[in-house]
């Protein structure tokens, strides 16, 4: 008989003692059950009331048609599916939808500490843009470091002032789509639905 067989035979005749629970702990769990909130912001987006989701979506892109299209296709299996649906809905904006969305936009915010001459130059360029196209200048600068935002906005306005209105409508629609995508990502990160 091997050593292991001897140990097994000994334990079968002499079982280990049962754990004794002190009487004051009877019925209590020694280690509380661990619960962890495994819901994600996307889970919340998928299950939130329609009114809350529409409110959040309208802060991303002020187009009721776009917001309803994105909300109506819930639930989304992952963030990329949601963003793809948001992109598709943005590509399908009518001229009236685009005009409504653009009317709700404001000039992009400049980083703190931007000097006043830059504000003056930006206001002048923006006024020229609005006079030509009838809506606020929109540009997505999410990917830029704050030190480059002002230059990119000014360069964008100046270069896009040369567009004809139809060409600018296409560019503005693409910038709105990019803005909506970034805002939607930010809204989900904040989980403030």
DSSP notation for 28-49: S-SSPPP------HHHHHHHS-
- In this predicted model, what pLDDT tens digit does every residue of 60-113 receive, in sequence order? 999 999 999 999 999 999 999 999 999 999 999 999 999 999 999 987 777 777
Secondary structure letter of residue 55 according to DSSP = H
Residues 6-14 have a mean pLDDT of 49
- Predicted pLDDT of residue 28: 54
Contact residues for 131 (Cβ-Cβ < 8 A; gap 6+)? none
Name the one residue in this structure whose structure tokens are 């912001």: 41
What pLDDT score was predicted for residue 11?
A: 46
Compute the CA torsion angle 10, 13, 16, 22 (nearest 10 deg): -160
Of 90-99, 128-137, 140-149, 179-188, minimum mean pLDDT range: 140-149
Please state the pTM of the whole predicted model: 0.73
How many CB atoms are closer than 10 A to CB 69?
A: 18
pLDDT digits (tens, 9 = 90+) for 154-166: 999 999 999 999 9
Q: Are 138 and 107 in contact (CB under 8 A)?
A: no
């Amino acid at each position: 008989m091997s050593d292991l067989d001897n140990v097994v035979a000994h334990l079968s005749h002499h079982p280990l003692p049962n754990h004794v629970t002190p009487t004051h702990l009877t019925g209590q769990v020694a280690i509380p059950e661990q619960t962890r909130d495994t819901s994600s912001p996307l889970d919340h987006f998928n299950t939130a009331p329609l009114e809350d989701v529409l409110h959040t979506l309208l802060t991303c892109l002020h187009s009721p048609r776009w917001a309803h299209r994105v909300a109506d296709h819930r639930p989304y299996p992952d963030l990329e599916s949601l963003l793809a649906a948001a992109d598709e809905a943005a590509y399908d904006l009518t001229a009236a939808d685009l005009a409504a969305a653009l009317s709700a936009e404001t000039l992009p915010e400049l980083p703190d500490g931007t000097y006043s001459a830059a504000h003056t130059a930006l206001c002048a360029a923006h006024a020229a843009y609005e006079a030509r196209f009838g809506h606020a200048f929109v540009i997505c600068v999410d990917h830029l470091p704050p030190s480059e935002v002002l230059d990119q906005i000014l360069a964008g306005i100046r270069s896009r002032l040369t567009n004809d209105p139809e060409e600018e409508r296409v560019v503005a629609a693409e910038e709105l789509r990019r803005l909506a995508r970034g805002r939607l990502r930010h809204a989900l990160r904040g989980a403030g639905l």
